[in-house]
């Protein structure tokens, strides 16, 4: 297992099987977006630019029986819904702002399609930083 900080390790208490996937995702995010900051709360890990553009959690967006081993949820904010079966839940939290919850369980799912969505969420957050709107994805 790659070395990690105590706060991250504690966040994954009860979900150790998802830690390696998370560390791979975190590495992709910090490599792709060098200005990203990360904060760990009780229920999610938040990535900012300085606005929130991605969150990792264990939100139950599917029935337990439908969740694969080693799963985690990546949440992204975008201006429109993503028409993909990879998205477990999409919610229009207000006009022009959609929150998408994507269940991930393997490093192969951190593919170019997913990273394109992350890039779009990052850009959407940057746009809202300039306009002064909400901080949530």
**Residue 35 CB burial class (10 angstroms; 0-12, 13-18, ≥19):** exposed
C-alpha triplet 46, 40, 100: angle, nearest 5°? 30
pLDDT tens digit at each of 137 positions of the chain: 345 789 999 999 999 999 999 999 999 999 999 999 999 999 999 999 989 999 999 999 999 999 999 999 999 999 999 999 999 999 999 999 999 999 999 999 999 999 999 999 999 998 876 555 545 55
Q: Are 36 and 48 in contact (CB under 8 A)?
A: yes
pTM: 0.90
Q: Are 82 and 13 in contact (CB under 8 A)?
A: no
**End-to-end distance of the chain based on CA atoms, in angstroms?**
30
């Amino acid at each position: 297992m790659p070395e990690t900080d105590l706060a991250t390790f504690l966040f994954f208490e009860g979900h150790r099987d998802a830690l390696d996937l998370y560390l791979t995702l975190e590495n992709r995010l910090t490599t792709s977006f060098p200005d990203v900051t990360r904060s760990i709360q009780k229920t999610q890990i938040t990535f900012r630019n300085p606005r929130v553009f991605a969150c990792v959690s264990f939100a139950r967006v599917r029935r337990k029986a439908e969740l694969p081993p080693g799963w985690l949820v990546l949440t992204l904010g975008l201006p429109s819904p993503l028409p993909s079966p990879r998205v477990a839940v999409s919610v229009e939290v207000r006009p022009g702002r959609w929150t998408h919850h994507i269940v991930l369980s393997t490093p192969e799912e951190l593919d170019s399609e997913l990273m394109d969505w992350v890039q779009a969420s990052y850009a959407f957050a940057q746009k809202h930083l300039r306009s002064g709107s909400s901080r949530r994805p």
